[in-house]
């Protein structure tokens, strides 16, 4: 059930990243419109995600998850019938409000039901499911677009409605005794958010998602079309590479965490990002670009579930939804900035300078984490 929620949560941009050039071309828009279309589905989460976390802590996980899934699924399906680019952006915005509670509450459900090493392992499995889906879904979206046009690539959003049925069947709201006042709830969440480990995870996560949504989900499809002339179906297949790398690491996260610790995993991940972007941006050979995307995936598989586990483990159950949601709110900010910045940079300077900026930013992330990441140790909380 948790895996179905997680997969639903990543559909919004992975489904359309292969058909993205076709969509903006169909509406007569330039490359800059690609960033707007991607960012429209992430922008609402900056504000909505923290609010959803507070509501989930106060009224229960199922009470919040069900409407999020229904709104997300219906808005996604309606996007297939958008008559104008503006209507499509508006529907993506509504869909983004629904998606703001999905991946974070999936992690919260894991943290509610597992603890310690088991929690890290299951979050790693959840991340592996996510990355396998990231491999399959772009190919699915590209295949549907190749067969019937880009509008068909929105059909799999119906999965969110299936996930809603699973949530209704298997998730139960757990009584937590007398609820604190709203202000008391906010104060408890803010105390956890201000801890060094959560602040560090917020900073790392926001930079990572600026890079990923900018260079992988926005710039890469454009480069595959313009530099290598790949059609929509082949563009979707290329995204198997980063997903394969991420899955390989995420499935073994428990072992890696035990052996190397959180800080070393995060530093190694940032270094892999820099190497991957340099490979993708500076060597105009398709096989090398695909290998660079694989290297990026290796870094992603170790960093994202590690950040999720650290944040979820740094708060008590009664504030966990809000704390994880605050982290997700900043993640959404990164996911919004990345596509807009990357699309504008590609339009103004080209692919080389855009990926060079990514190398610099990833290198800075590695150095900062190595220097200040000694506090990346979450204090375990009991379920």
pLDDT for 176 equals: 56
The count of domains in the chain is 1
**Angle of the 196-211 helix axis to the 317-349 helix axis, nearest 10:** 30
Tell whether 382 is covered by a domain.
no
| Lookup: tokens for 99 | 């998606």
What residues make up the domain containing 329? 2-168+183-375
Tell whether 176 is covered by a domain.
no
CB–CB of 52/64 below 8 Å?
yes
CB–CB of 157/78 below 8 Å?
no
pTM of the model: 0.74
- The single residue listed with the structure tokens 């690491």 is 249
pLDDT in tens, 291-343: 999 999 999 989 988 998 898 888 777 788 888 878 888 887 888 899 889 98
pLDDT for 335 equals: 82
Tell whether 99 is covered by a domain.
yes
Tell whether 381 is covered by a domain.
no
Percent of the chain at pLDDT above 70? 94
- The single residue listed with the structure tokens 């590479």 is 241
Tell whether 177 is covered by a domain.
no
pLDDT for 179 equals: 59
pLDDT for 180 equals: 63
As a whole number of angstroms, the distance between CA 15 and CA 134 comes to 9
| Lookup: tokens for 372 | 């200040």
As a whole number of angstroms, the distance between CA 231 and CA 285 comes to 17
Tell whether 178 is covered by a domain.
no
- The single residue listed with the structure tokens 């499809």 is 221
| Residue from 238, 96, 85 nearest 157 by CA | 96
Q: In three state form, how does the secondary structure of the chain look?
A: CHHHHHHHHCHHHHCCCCCHHHHHHHCCCCCHHHHHHHHHCCCCHHHHHHHHHHHHHHHCHHHHHHHHHHHHHHHHHHHCCCCCHHHHHHHHHHHHHHHCCHHHHHHHHHHHHCCHHHHHHHHHHHHHHHHHHHHHHHHHHHHHHHHHCHHHHHHHHHHHHHHHHHHHHHCCCCCCCCCCCHHHHHHHHHHHHCCHHHHHHHHHHHHHHHHHHHHHHHHHHHHHHHCCCCCHHHHHHHCHHHHHHHHHHHCCHHHHHHHHHHHHHHHHHHHHHHHHHHHHHHCCCHHHHHHHHHHHHHHHHHHHHHHHHHHHCCCCHHHHHHHHHHHHHHHHHHHHHHHHHHHHHHHHHCHHHHHHHHHHHHHHHHHHHHHHHHHCCCCCCCC
Residues of the chain predicted below pLDDT 70: 174-182, 185, 374-383
CATH number of the domain to which 254 belongs: 1.20.1250.20
């Amino acid at each position: 059930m948790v895996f179905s929620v997680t997969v639903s949560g990543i559909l919004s941009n992975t489904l359309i990243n292969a058909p993205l050039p076709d969509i903006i071309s169909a509406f007569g828009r330039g490359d800059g419109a690609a960033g707007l279309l991607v960012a429209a589905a992430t922008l609402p989460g900056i504000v909505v995600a923290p609010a959803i976390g507070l509501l989930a802590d106060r009224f229960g996980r199922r009470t919040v998850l069900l409407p999020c899934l229904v709104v997300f699924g219906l808005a996604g399906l309606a996007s297939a019938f958008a008559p104008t680019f503006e209507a499509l952006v508006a529907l993506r915005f509504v869909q983004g409000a629904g998606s703001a509670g999905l991946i974070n509450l999936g992690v919260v459900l894991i943290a509610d039901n597992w603890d310690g090493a088991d929690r890290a392992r299951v979050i790693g499995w959840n991340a592996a499911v996510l990355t396998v889906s990231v491999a399959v879904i772009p190919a699915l979206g590209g295949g549907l677009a190749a067969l019937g046009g880009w509008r068909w690539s929105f059909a799999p959003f119906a999965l969110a409605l299936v996930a809603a049925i699973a949530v209704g069947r298997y998730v139960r709201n757990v009584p937590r005794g007398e609820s604190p006042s709203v202000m008391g709830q906010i104060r408890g969440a803010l105390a956890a958010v201000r801890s060094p480990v959560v602040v560090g995870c917020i900073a790392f996560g926001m930079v990572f998602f600026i890079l990923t949504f900018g260079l992988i989900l926005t710039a890469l499809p454009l480069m595959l079309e313009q530099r290598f002339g790949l059609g929509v179906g082949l563009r979707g297949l290329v995204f198997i590479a980063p997903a394969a790398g991420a899955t390989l690491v995420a499935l073994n996260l428990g072992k890696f965490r035990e052996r190397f610790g959180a800080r070393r995993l995060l530093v190694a991940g940032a270094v892999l990002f820099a190497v991957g972007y340099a490979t993708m941006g500076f060597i105009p050979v398709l096989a090398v670009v695909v290998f660079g995307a694989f290297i990026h995936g290796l870094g992603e598989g170790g960093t994202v579930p590690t950040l999720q586990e650290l944040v979820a483990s740094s708060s008590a159950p009664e504030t966990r939804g809000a704390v994880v949601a605050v982290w997700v709110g900043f993640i959404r900010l990164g996911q919004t900035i990345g596509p807009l910045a990357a699309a504008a940079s590609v339009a103004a300077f080209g692919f080389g300078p855009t990926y060079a900026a990514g190398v610099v930013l990833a290198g800075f992330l590695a150095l900062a984490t190595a220097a200040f990441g000694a506090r990346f140790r979450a204090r375990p909380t009991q379920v």
